[in-house]
Amino acid sequence: MKSIQNIDNNPIGVPLTADELLEFHAARLLLLFRVCGTAGRIDGLTKMAKLDFFVRYPEFFDKACKTLGLPAESATQSVESSMIRFHYGPWDDRYYHVLAYLESRELLSVTKDKKTFNLSLTARGVELAKTLASDDSFHGLVEQMKRVKKALGSKAGSTLKKLVYQVFDKEVAERRMGETIE
C-alpha cells in the first residue's frame, strides 16, 4: 500500500489503482465511522470489519438483508475493494495500517475496554468525514453505508460475524485463511 504523497516514486508505465492507496482506504473508513457508527464510534474491530464488508460487497449485503427479511437494493453491484477470509470472517490486512494512519493524523481515537477496541472519530475526524460525505465522488459509497447502517448498524460484531458465516458458507466460511473473497 502506498501513500498518495509517494506515488511520484512509481515508474510512469506502472499502473496504480485507488485500491493501492492508503488515503483511499482511510477516506472510506472515516465515512464508515461517521455514517455506520453511533456518534462517529464503532465498538470492536469485528463490527467495523463486518460493516465494511457489507459496504464493500453490495451483493452480499442484499443477500444478507433477504435472509433477515429486510428490503435491500444496493446502488451498485460491484465489489469496491476485495477482502480476505480471516479468523472472524471477512478482513482486510490493511486495516492495521489504515487505523494507525488515522490515529497518527489525530482523526481517530483508539481505546481498549477489556478485549474490545473502541474506535471513535476525533473532532478533526468528524470534520473531515463531513467534508468527504458532501463530496459528490463519495455519494454512492455514502448511500450504501446508509443502507448498511439502517439494516445492520444496531447489531453486535459477533452477531454480524455469525450472520456472515451462516449466509455465506461457500463464499467465506469454506475459503482457506488468507484467500480472497469474490
Smallest CA-to-CA distance from 164 within 102, 94, 85, 89 is with 89
Beta-strand ranges (E) seen in 10-74 are 41-43
* pLDDT, position 16: 46
Listed as ranges, residues in the chain with pLDDT below 70 are 1-20, 74-89, 91
* pLDDT, position 90: 78
Cell numbers for 51: 460493516
* pLDDT, position 102: 97
Q: Please tell me whether the overall predicted TM-score, pTM, comes out greater than 0.75 for this model.
A: yes
* pLDDT, position 180: 79
Q: Are 55 and 33 in contact (CB under 8 A)?
A: no
How big is the CA angle at 29 (ends 7 and 82), to the nearest 5 degrees? 70
